[in-house]
Amino acid sequence: MQKKNVLRERECKMKREKFGSRLGFILISAGCAIGLGNVWRFPYITGAYGGAAFVLIYLFFLVVLGLPIMVMEFSVGRASQKSAALSFDKLEPKGTKWHWYKYGAMAGNYLLMMFYTTIGGWMLLYFVKMLTGQFEELDAAGVSAEFGELMGQPGLMAICMIIVVVLCFAVCSMGLQKGVEGITKVMMVLLLGLMVLLAVRSATLPGASEGLKFYLLPDFGKIHDAGLKEVVFAAMGQSFFTLSLGIGAIAIFGSYIDKSRSLTGEAVCVTVLDTCVALIAGLIIFPACFAFGVNPDSGPNLIFITLPNIFNAMSGGRIWGALFFLCMMFAAASTIIAVFENIISFAMDLTGCTRRKAVVCNLFAIIILSLPCLLGFNVLSGVQLLGEGSTILDFEDFLVSNNLLPLGSLIYLLFCTSRYGWGWKKFTEEANSGEGLRFPKWARIYVSYILPIIVLVIFVQGYWGIFHK
């Protein structure tokens, strides 16, 4: 009773901010979902596992796996009008312990920022390097060495990380509509526009047609060679992790909207945008790689070694390279701003403090918490918690991706479907409030019993992939 009274008092003191437009909600939610994995993982596995044939499998799992959980996160956020720090407290049946998961959700957001801010700093630095022509005099070995040297410069990485943290928190300090919504809308529009421009440029390079064929034409032989099981697991994993579900990072935006639109339709819009970015990234990467006879890679090597070499060989590559890294900055910044908004909301919901105070306190906290990641490539390189050759970044990513995301998604699933949680009836009523696509009631058996098993399989597969390489 006392806990409920405290919640009511805080609600009276603090009026919930709201998005200024539906477009803002969709673009910001998409910005949170769109991450660097859309660029450095999706195109690679698409090419490796059969091009369009893999995309069809991926889209199937995106609809049956990612979409329902996103609707649930949005629903919990909108019904509670709170962040993950208090949403379960408000919606759970009396006497239950669902609110214990708020610590996992908050930990997930902080852990994600402990390494994502460092990567954002890398993007900022490479944008500056590309814009100022610092790669133009370097050969392939020189470009590769440049990234290696960066890993040995903790001071430089710290400066870049701090700039990213300060800029993104500055956006959040401006408020929801003026800052988070206003700035992210501009970044997302520019991101999509610049990516289309880069894709057109890449597709018009001499020899690019072979890259387009490799990427877009279905090749069922590759599925056969890799094994259907491996391809299905790759599609399941990518469709699940691409949306960053399970830590309440998406739920917060549900708390900023009204009930005029159904949440399934909104989730479809966000998912479509996320997928478009991933597909367009492949249209940039593969034609360019094939045009210059470079083997497409994945992960940081693709972004920081392979592509700078391609831009060096391209006419006007300095400008095109700068535009590419500007895109990567927007992709990283949109995610960082979205998660920072979650972190700020945690503080505001739990303590009733002002947005400005929450920003200041968390700014210093995030900078300090981000240091182990960047030091893990140099001063703390001996700390290899996941085995030889691993880094602190790998470990932090493992905690989020392989643990908190799948287990958190499982909790949202059970909370929204179990009679011991919020329950199916209340969930569907919230999800289907307003105009637009309805969450199908016939899907109850699937999301209640089958989908949790799929999420558990992804969880187990994640551990198997890490420890049985």
User: Which residues have a Cβ under 8 Å from the Cβ of 352 and sit 6 or more positions away?
Assistant: 10, 13, 14
pLDDT at 455: 93
CA distance 88 to 454: 23
DSSP for residue 205: S
Strand partners, 435: 261
pLDDT band at 430 (very low <50, low <70, confident <90, very high): very high
CATH fold of 22-467 reads Hydantoin permease (1.10.4160)
The dihedral sign for the CA sequence 275, 276, 280, 281: negative
Side-chain half-sphere CA neighbours of 55 within 13 A: 17
Of residues 115, 222, 229, 112, the one with CA closest to residue 465: 229
CA distance 94 to 115: 37
pLDDT band at 50 (very low <50, low <70, confident <90, very high): confident
Distance (Å) of CA 346 to CA 71, 73, 109, 351, 398: 21, 16, 10, 8, 23
* Cα 447 from chain centroid (whole Å): 23
Least confident of 66-70, 99-103, 279-283, 371-375: 279-283
260: how many CB neighbours lie within 10 A of its CB? 10
* In the block, residue with structure tokens 């739990």: 350
Q: What is the mean pLDDT of the chain?
A: 90
Least confident of 146-150, 156-160, 267-271, 292-296: 292-296
Q: What is the percent of the chain with per-residue pLDDT over 70, rounded to a whole number?
A: 96
Q: What is the largest CA-CA distance in the chain?
A: 70
Q: Is the confidence at residue 6, as pLDDT, over 80?
A: no
Distance (Å) of CA 269 to CA 30, 99, 366: 8, 29, 31
pLDDT band at 7 (very low <50, low <70, confident <90, very high): very low
Query: Tens digits of per-residue pLDDT, 239-293?
Result: 888 888 999 999 999 999 999 999 999 999 999 999 999 899 989 998 998 998 8
Strand partners, 85: none
Side-chain half-sphere CA neighbours of 400 within 13 A: 23
Q: Read off the pTM.
A: 0.92
Q: What are phi and psi of 261, to 5 degrees?
A: -125, 140
Q: How many residues can be counted in the chain? A: 469
214: how many CB neighbours lie within 10 A of its CB? 18
Mean pLDDT of 327-341: 94
pLDDT at 2: 52
Distance (Å) of CA 138 to CA 78, 129, 148: 52, 12, 14
CA distance 179 to 172: 6
| CB-count exposure of residue 390 (10 Å: 0-12, 13-18, 19+) | middle
Domain boundaries, the chain: 22-467
CA distance 88 to 85: 8
* Cα 397 from chain centroid (whole Å): 12
Q: 3-state class of 332 per DSSP?
A: helix
Lookup: tokens for 289:
């790689």
CA distance 113 to 115: 5
Lookup: tokens for 445:
């058996």
